[in-house]
Amino acid sequence: MKAPAHFPPWLRKSRNPAGASALTASVLRAGNLSTVCEEARCPNRAGCWASGTATFLVLGRRCTRQCRFCAVEGGSPGSPDPTEPVRLAAAAAAMRLAHVVVTMVTRDDLPDGGAAHVAACVRAVRESLPDAGIEALVSDFGGDTGALMAVLESGPDVLAHNLETVERLSPVMRPKASYARSLGMLRYAASAGAAVPKSGLMAGLGEEPAELDRSMADLAVAGVRLLTVGQYLSPAPGRAPVARFLEPDEFAAIAERARLLGFAHVTASPFTRSSLGAREAFEAAAGGRRKDTVASS
């Protein structure tokens, strides 16, 4: 299928004022921290940073896998930095976040896939911001449920792992991952009952509507409570091209079909990304049990 030549008008964003995100940027730079906002070239970065929010990326800037849709570079990430959890927690406190998202590069080179490090980050944030919601967006840990449990036991409010695409396209787009393994890890997280399970899908990679519906149903059956569906945008030359741009009303229809499957909260739009609106999604699913005592994210 030939890739579309130009972005449609609904995918064109106005620029934020030049200095709008300067404070967020300065806090991140001072802590020598990475964000998925930058590494994955998220189109929502300017708006999120302007409002003082960011999704922290831990365990390095390189990933041991190279999925065809992702901008994060592959290669050897290096040893985990034991100071990163403390630096991350300090930055989150300085930014006065109400909901903190901690995500990671995949670390197939580590015995536990980096689970202990992610858990340390969650605990550090909880100590620094006891009233904040915390979301851990993790890899599949190679199917190691013990590693997943280590993260769950650190106390995140939300445990997220993205299925990314439909079963037919998964071997092509995620050659080192597995559709069934991802579902299995989400099912395990749901059965543990320690955190709200969350997942995300991309549209526009070449999937058929019925395939997308099947994946949403698979996630619902696995026990996932929070779902995001957004438009895939090719992040760099050499990555998978966009097969199709879905119109906003198509995303509205996807959201409605997903709600009928029983998800507690669904976000589906051209600009939806897994961490956009994370706080609102968690509060919708959990009844807002976190106290709103710090600045809104």
pLDDT, tens digit only, all 297 positions of the chain: 555 657 788 887 655 554 546 666 677 777 777 766 665 566 666 666 665 566 899 999 889 998 888 877 778 788 999 999 999 999 999 888 888 999 999 999 999 999 999 999 999 999 999 999 999 999 999 999 999 999 999 999 999 999 999 999 999 999 999 999 999 999 999 999 999 999 999 999 999 999 999 999 999 999 999 999 999 998 888 889 999 999 999 999 999 999 999 999 999 999 998 887 888 888 888 764 433 222 223
Rounded to two decimals, the pTM is 0.88
Q: Which domains does the chain have, with CATH numbers?
A: 21-286 (3.20.20.70)
* Phi and psi at residue 253, to the nearest 5°: -70, -40
Residue 164 and residue 174 in contact, taking contact as beta carbons nearer than 8 Å? yes
- In the sheet that holds 99-104, the strands lie side by side as 34-35, 55-58, 99-104, 133-137, 158-160, 196-203, 226-231, 265-269
CB atoms within 10 A of CB 61: 14
